[in-house]
Structure 1
Amino acid sequence: MKDPVDILSALADPTRLGAIRLLWDGEEHCVCELMRKLGASQSRMSRHMATLKVAGLVIDRRDAQWVRYRRNPALSPAVAAVVDAALALPVTEKAEEIAA
């Protein structure tokens, strides 16, 4: 199991939490879609996704020039419960700005 500090740190950033919110549907999402929906540049989004990947929350797959991300299907029930709890928290103004 990954270090709880890595998991909680990964979820602490509004852009990363927004990405997790989008990826939590279990489907693959292209980095271009995440960039557009979260208002992030390609380099910024890539850094955020790398953090989520290191924390073990997402996996990726290269598709030509794009990278597609999805929820890590091998997450332990305990880690999935932590993410579910984070996603259940009320969305703050800052998170709404990012998601808009």
Structure 2
Amino acid sequence: MQAVLNAISDPTRRAALALLQGGEECCVCELMTRLNASQSRMSRHMKMLQDAGLVIGRRDAKWVRYRRNRDLAPEFAAVIDAVLAAERPLEEDMA
């Protein structure tokens, strides 16, 4: 549980999870463009999410494509969904 909480404690990692929420698969280059992050920073964030079991990486030629882990324990998935849902209204208020 600690690794999951650490992984979702960062706004960039939460934003990456939100982009992968609907089953979309993204490579680091797509995530860095959409989240305005450097390649090395985004790769470190995705490694932390992968180490926590929240995302799965799939090698595709020279890229690694990430997707949300569909086999995540339901209680962890519920926590992540609740955190992302609670954050959405805050983002809309700031826009």
Same fold (TM over 0.5): yes
Give the corresponding residue for 2:36.
39
String of CA shifts for 1:53-82, please: whole Å, max 9, x gaps.
010000001111111000001111111000
Name the amino acid aligned to 1:20: L
**1:42, 1:51 → 2: CA distance?**
14
Instruction: Name the CA distance, whole Å, in 2 between partners of 1:42 and 1:56.
Output: 21
Aligned length: 92
Q: Does 1:24 align with 2:21?
A: yes
Find the aligned partners of 2:62 and 2:87 in 1 and give their Cα distance: 35
How far 1:90 sits from its partner (Å)? Answer: 3.0
Point out which structure has higher relative CO (alpha carbons under 8 A, 6+ apart). 1
The alpha-carbon deviation at position 20 of structure 1 amounts to: 0.3
Q: Deviations over 1:9-29 (max 9, x none)?
A: 100101000000001111211
C-alpha deviation, 1:87, in angstroms: 0.3
Task: Among all aligned residue pairs of Structure 1 and Structure 2, give the percentage whose two residues are the same amino acid.
Answer: 61
Matching of residue 55 in structure 1 with residue 33 in structure 2: no
Q: TM-score, normalised by structure 1?
A: 0.85
**Structure 1: gaps of 5 or more residues:** none
CA distance in 1, matches of 2:27, 2:73: 24
Unaligned runs of 5+ in 2: none
SS at match of 1:34: helix
